[in-house]
Structures are given as C-alpha cells and as structure tokens.
Amino acid sequence: MSVRVGSTRRGFLTVTGAAAALALAGDLPGVGQALAGATGRGDRRDPFTLGVASGDPLPDAVVIWTRLAPDPLTPFGGMNRRPVEVGWQVAEDPRFRRIVRQGTTQARPEASHTVHIDVRGLRPWREYWYRFRVNGKLSPVGRTRTAPAPNAVVDEMSLAFASCQAWWEGWYTAYADMAKREHDVVFFLGDYIYEFGIDRGIRPHSNEPWMTQQTVTLDEYRVRYASYKMDPDLQAAHASAPWVVTLDDHEVVDNWADEAHPSAPPAQFLVRRANAFRAYWEHMPLRLAQLPKGPDMQLYRRIKYGRLAEFSVLDTRQYRSDQAYGDGSKAPGPETKDPARSITGAAQEKWLLDGWAASPARWNVLAQQNALARLDVKEGPEVLVPMDTWDGYEASRNRILGAAYERKLRNLVSIGGDLHRSVASDLKLDFTNPDSPTVGTEFVGTSISSAMDGMDLDPGGVTLMKENPHIKFGNFQRGYVSCSITPQRWISDYRVVDKVSIPNGTVSTRAKLLVEDNRPGIQIL
C-alpha cells in the first residue's frame, strides 16, 4: 500500500476542523517556562497520583516530569480547566539540603496539567534528586543522573531496557526489581500502553470501562496512560533513574506503518495518530523538541555517554513502508528485498549512518523497537519470517549492517523488544550464510507482562533456536535486561519473573551474556 504523505498531511487540518487543530497544536504557551499562575486552594486530594519521572539526560541537563491528576481516570484527571502553579526543586542529596536548581512553572489544561522541566546548568555524570510542590503538597522524590561530559573516559555504566507492559496481563514485578538496582539510565523500547479494548484480565478492575474500550480520542488515550501509570512498581522504576523512551505500534494501534492502517483511511488515521502522539508526549519525560505537531513527532535522537557509549534511538514506525505481503509471517521475496522500501525512512537512515561515521564511542548502540536479526519461525526447509520486523525490510537491514561492516564500526549492539520473548543473536552480514562475518550483537528483551507468565522455552522458541544458528539464547518468561558496560566488555543480565499472574513473583537471573570489545558475538557466562 502506498500513500502520498505530503498531500495527506496537508489536508490534516481540513479533516480535523478548527477545534481539533487547537487541541492538537504544537504550541503550548508556558510549558517548561517559569510563569506565575493560578493555584487551587482547599483541595485535599493528592495531585501526584501518577508519580514523577525524568528523562533524556545530557551532560548538563535532564527533563523532570509529573502530571497533576487527583482523579486520574477521568477527563483532565479531576483538575479544573485552568493553569496551576507548580514548584520544582533539584538537589544533590535526597533530603534536599543542597538544592542546586529550583523554580515555578504552570501546569496547563492544554497539556492535561503535565509538567516538563528541562533543568539546565547541572554537572556531568552526577546523581540528583528532584520533587514538585503544589499548594503545599510535595510529590514523591525521584532520583536521576546526568550523562558524562562529551569526551569523558567512563570506566563503567549500567542500563536497563524493557518493553511491552500489558497492564491487564500481569503484575509489574520486574519494575520493582529494576527500581532496586538504580541504573544510570533506562531505555523503554515500545508498547508502553495497549490501545485495544480487552475482555479479560488477571488484575482487579480489568473489566472497567477505561480498560475494555478501545482508545481513539485524546481523552481515551490520556485515561489509558493514567491507568498504567498508577501502578506503584512502574512509578518506582520511573523514579529510580532517567528514562529514554521511544514508541512502537500499540501506543497508536497494532502494526501501524506511517500513514497506513486498515482501521481507517489515511486522513482519518492521522487524526487518531495525532491524538496518540499528544497523549504519549504528555505522559513521558520528553523535551519540547519532541512535542508533536499534529500527527508528526521527532523521536529519533542520540544520547551519548562520554567516549564509552553512543545510543542511537530509532523510530521504526513513523517513516516505514507498509508491511510486505499484507503483514504476518511470510516467505521472503522481491517485496521484502525491494531497496525502495524502508523501515526507517531515508532521512533517519542517513542520520544514523552519518552519526556512525563521526562516532568516537567504544560501544555504538541501536535502541530500537524490534528484532534486527533474522527470525525464521517455520521448522524445516521452508522459511517464514515476520513482516513487521526488520525481516520485512531486508534492504534497510542490509544497508545498515553493511555500513557497519564496511566502516569497521566499533562494537555494534542492538537492543530491542516487541517479541514478548528474549532472543540474543549474533548479527550476521548475511543471515542465510552461517559463515558470514559477525557484524555486531543483538539483545532483544522480553515483555514486562505481555503474554502473561510464559515458560522457559515454548515451542516457538525451540523452533527459533533450531532454525536460526545465529540465535544464541532464548527464553519465554517475563522480565527485563540489566546491562553493565565497561570499555572492555558488555554484560547483559536477563532478569526473569517466575509468575506475573500473581503479585510479588520471584525475580532471578536466567542468563548472563558477554560481548568483548572488538570481538563481536555472544559468549554465555
């Protein structure tokens, strides 16, 4: 399916009308600025029911976030439709005896009373603590950390990455474990919410209207985010470290591709996409640079950790060609190999490769949504691969892995999600030839809760391991990945939960996987 992007987007405001244009406009006066505003008095309800978060660390800055929502599962979160003054503080200690930055801003109804403060003037590679104040009430305290100076020599850093947190399918025990580890940074790689209505669920209140109806309008997306962010373990993980986020499909609708989705004509789908993007930005610790302009949002960006690691955060939804052969798992063919088709779009691909050409980093990391490695899901000589992953966009994959090989890019590592299973692979220059050079390493993490308890290795996992010799590890339990990185080695610790169908399951390490500097390929410790 081919859609003319320019003509459809030019018609966006005509389709939505003036009221929608105002509701979805990119300019939100006062967001992130220190302005005086009206404050509500006498309201005894907790305005910080959705917790706090920080994100996108720079050497001298970090974004801190909260949303005022005393009644979070109602439109506007139970707030009056007027601006509210919010105080904020950043300190060098958790008791706020050494406050280094503070100010006031307005939480405005246009942004669902969210607050995004881009705190500048901080010191590189330092821990900080932050909090907010509204009408005499203090928020929970969050911990964050800035990135190192651009040319700093970093001896070690820690990160976690996660994806796919279907609220109704399990408890967020993995997040409780993640929060205790206090990583330097957390990457969330997509499917923060699920948009569809459900008719089942293991959690209490799974059958409430705010979970059983599909999200289409801006208010519906806002309530869906609020329902997820009320979870205390998710709040603890957000408050434990800065997050770097990107979205996948379910933040909008299952398996969307650019302007294409079978649920609606492109012009109508753009309205839904704009609603979804707006609610996403409102609920994530993102800068104003990521504020959507209608149905468009600039999400791909770089996060650098001195000379140790450079993270290229991708957006493989907004610019991709429609899925080949009608989606699903199909045999590779001329359409998957077509060089005119792309999963990133030409501009993002050029941005990525240009960045690699200039990278001084020891570890060059793709933080992206799904599996870059080939995934033959059919046992036997017939090959079937999923069209929604990089397998459906072979030319894109070949250009990126080919460029890494030709330029001798140092230590390419891909981290991904989406599969609801753990899959760790050697990235081959040619996946059809096991003797082909290994270009890099991929760690795909399982889901936080999506697909419920799972098992160590299901039949699908057995097939993947048998049919794909480049896959070195697989698992079908829930959890996340915790990584330790030094100049000499990268260790990925696959943390799994025995059961997410009950609260307080047991978290353990299922596998530790090692990659050594200048030696691509996985070693199992």
- 31-144 CATH: 2.60.40.380
Listed by start position, the domains of the chain span: 31-144, 147-524
User: Distance between CA atoms of 321 and 3, rounded to whole angstroms?
Assistant: 9
Q: Is the pTM of this model over 0.75?
A: yes
The pLDDT score that the predictor gives to residue 43 is 78
92: number of CA atoms within 13 Å, CB side? Answer: 10
C-alpha closest to that of 394 among 368, 373, 421, 369:
373
Q: How far is CA 27 from the centre of its chain?
A: 24
Enumerate residues 6+ apart whose C-beta is below 8 A from 356: 312, 364, 403, 404, 407, 409
Place of tokens 């609801």: 420
How far apart CA 499 and CA 506 sit, in angstroms, is: 7
Q: Residue with structure tokens 């009221």?
A: 19
For residues 404, 405, 406, 411, the Cα torsion angle rounded to the nearest 10 degrees is 60
Question: Which amino acid is present at 91?
Answer: A
pLDDT at residue 210, as a whole number:
86
- Which residues are paired to 143 by β-bridges? 129
Structure token digits, residue 290: 């990521």
Tokens (6 digits) for 468: 């794909």
- What type of residue sits at position 103? G
For 23-81, how does the pLDDT look when each residue is reduced to its tens digit (9 = 90+)? 333 333 333 333 332 335 667 899 999 999 999 999 999 999 999 999 999 988 999 99
The 10s digit of each residue's pLDDT in 197-235 is 998 899 999 998 889 999 999 999 999 999 999 999 999
- The first and second tokens of residue 126, run together, are 């330092």
Maximum separation of any 2 CA atoms in the chain, in Å = 71
Domain 147-524 has CATH 3.60.21.70: yes
Q: Does the pLDDT of residue 20 top 50, yes or no?
A: no
Taking 80 as the threshold, does the pLDDT of residue 184 lie above it? yes
Q: What is the mean pLDDT of the chain?
A: 92
| φ and ψ at residue 107, rounded to 5 degrees | -90, 120
> 452 with 202: CB under 8 angstroms?
yes
Q: Is it the case that residue 400 has pLDDT exceeding 90?
A: yes
Structure tokens that stand for 41 in this block: 């008095």
Q: For 315-351, what is the HEC assignment?
A: CCCCCCCCCHHHCCEECCCHHHHCCCCCCCCHHHHHH
Query: What is the pLDDT at residue 40?
Result: 56
User: What residues contact residue 205 under an 8 Å CB cut-off, 6+ apart?
Assistant: 211
For 119-265, where are the alpha helices, taking DSSP H only?
173-181, 209-212, 218-229, 232-240
For the four alpha carbons of 144, 146, 147 and 148, in that order, the dihedral sign comes to: negative
Percent of the chain with pLDDT strictly greater than 90 = 89
- Residue found under tokens 């990268």: 490
Question: Is it the case that residue 330 has pLDDT exceeding 80?
Answer: yes
Q: Is 48 exposed, middle or buried (0-12, 13-18, 19+ CB in 10 A)?
A: buried
Nearest-5° Cα angle at 402, 400 to 403: 65
Give the residue, 321 or 19, on which the prediction is more confident. 321
Q: Judge whether residue 103 has pLDDT over 60.
A: yes
Q: 485: which strand partners? A: 157, 490
Work out the average pLDDT over 354-368.
Answer: 97
